[in-house]
Amino acid sequence: MSTEGPASLKGKKYPAKEHNTRVLSHFKEKKSLKSAETLAFFMSGEDLELWQYCDQTKPIRQNRYFYYLSGVEIPGSHVLFDAANDKLTLFLPDIDYDDVMWSGMPLSPEEALKKYDVDEVKYAADLEKVVGALAEAKYTIHTTDHNKWNKRVSHLLTEQDPDFFHALDEARLIKDWYEIELMRHASAITDKCHLAVMSATPIESNETHIHAEFMYHALRQGSKYQSYDPICCSGPNCSTLHYVKNDDEIDNKRSVLIDAGAEWSCYASDVTRCFPINGDWTEEHLTIYNLVLDMQRKTMDMIKPGAHWDEIHLTAHRVMIKEFLRLGIFKKEYSEEEIFESSISARFFPHGLGHVLGMDTHDVGGRPDYNDPDPKLRYLRLRRELKEGMVLTDEPGVYFSPFLLKDVLEDPKKAKYINKDVLAKYWYIGGVRIEDDLLITKDGFENFTKITSDPHEISKIIKESSAQGKERFHNVV
């Protein structure tokens, strides 16, 4: 497996200058500014920290706003954009010569200038002088917040301007060609990891094995970090949306759900697949799987620029309601519209259809409204019209959760819609979710996710690996 990045980006620089310019454009528009003569942006990246009473450092996750404006993953760095002069300056951490013996020489300013899309590279020792000069020139220097990483110059910085956050988020919402290539690459790595998990089914006896299989193949491909903690669950555990315990036995269970995505250069992928442990779908599991697949296909048919995500999400609810009526989970004496208006479907499909994807798994710019009185929309993380260049997930799901359904089944006004005897046949499944990553294009979308979601192909993958025998795999456990 290759550990190199996309070939299309070889010799190219992360477009930090363009990103700063895009943020500036959104900021000026929001503020109704005609010029940026005394305007600057400053951002500090994350730095290394020791665990308390220990000489080991905590894992670092680079500040995503800092990375967007710099393309730099080096801990202890800072970036300054002088908007009036269109000048981007990177500040590298000062050299700790006592650490060179242990860690080697850091990147030099000359090397950094060649590697990054900046106009000037200095050391952090120059921060007060350079930032102070702009402050003396009556610049307003915006940052997200005052924190321990920028405290040397925080008295010169303007923090928490909502218009600055708006500009950052709107700029990040639309991905440029470079970001798209990074996300395609992250998705390609994730495809191989999910295929490996399906193929290794003969040796899996614990959810931890599923987790380990995914992580192993991600690391083999050069992805050292995951976009989020992998969700690896089996049977009834699949009813917990963000289940990360990942250590239950899978023997005597029938269904598996894995929601996991590899990261590449701070950009995320986010993919969910479900499958039967031995390759044989039970009738109930396959029925619910095909329902979720239908929810995804029908919503994908609606995805294009100008479509509103609220309507697409609510369509998924209607698809589920119609099938639940056919199956008898919802009583046929009630109409589709009555059940839709009751919002009882939100207890079986409690989360949003999808979310914006970028440097964060649940990326910025989605404009969620967690106070929405409609339970079907309350947890929807994307609440706006789709635009070309957005990347989002389409991830319908159906869950049979004792926690979510307890008060419903105990309340006659709510329970009247549900046939409890039919529902009982589905508890063992836990839940089914299918998730792909989509780029909104001029006429529709491009699906970054290539790992199959066809239930027959999934069954074939698992059975063929099983037929080869557990002996082929026993050395990797």
> Could you tell me if 173 and 362 are in contact, meaning their C-beta atoms sit under 8 angstroms apart?
no
Span of 250-254, 429-433, 464-468 with lowest mean pLDDT = 464-468
What is the tens place of the pLDDT at every residue in 55-105?
Answer: 999 999 999 999 999 999 999 999 999 999 999 999 999 999 999 999 999
Third-level CATH fold of 177-468:
Creatine Amidinohydrolase (3.90.230)
Model pLDDT, residue 202: 73
What are the start and end residues of each CATH 3.40.350.10 domain in the chain?
7-173
pLDDT > 60? residue 470: no
Q: 134-170 as b/e, with b when 16 or more CB fall inside 10 Å?
A: bbeeebebbbbebeebbeebbebbeeebeebbbbbbb
What are the start and end residues of each CATH 3.90.230.10 domain in the chain?
177-468
> Long-range contact list for 200-203, CB < 8 A, 24+ apart?
200/465, 200/473, 200/476, 201/275, 201/277, 201/278, 201/279, 201/462, 201/465, 201/466, 202/465, 202/466, 202/468, 202/469, 202/470, 202/472, 202/473, 203/470, 203/473, 203/474, 203/476, 203/477
- The average confidence (pLDDT) of the chain is 96
Query: How far is Cα 34 from Cα 70, in angstroms, rounded to an integer?
Result: 25
Cα angle vertex 238, ends 235, 239, to 5°? Answer: 115
| Local confidence band at 162 (pLDDT 50, 70, 90 cut-offs) | very high
What is the tens place of the pLDDT at every residue in 358-374?
Answer: 999 999 999 999 999 99
Model pLDDT, residue 1: 59
| Local confidence band at 473 (pLDDT 50, 70, 90 cut-offs) | very low
What is the tens place of the pLDDT at every residue in 113-140?
Answer: 999 999 999 999 999 999 999 999 999 9
What is the tens place of the pLDDT at every residue in 257-304?
Answer: 999 999 999 999 999 999 999 999 999 999 999 999 999 999 999 999
Average pLDDT over residues 395-423: 97
> Helix, strand, or coil here: 182?
helix
> Helix, strand, or coil here: 185?
helix
- CATH architecture type of domain 7-173: 3-Layer(aba) Sandwich (3.40)
What residue has token string 């046939």? 419
Give the DSSP H/E element, type plus range, for residue 271: strand 271-276
Contacts of 181 (CB under 8 A, 6+ apart): 6, 8, 9
pLDDT > 70? residue 322: yes
**SS (HEC) of 343-386:** CHHHHCCCCCCCCECCCCCCCCCCCCCCCCCCCCCCCCCCCCEC
Model pLDDT, residue 227: 98
What is the tens place of the pLDDT at every residue in 335-393?
Answer: 999 999 999 999 999 999 999 999 999 999 999 999 999 999 999 999 999 999 999 99
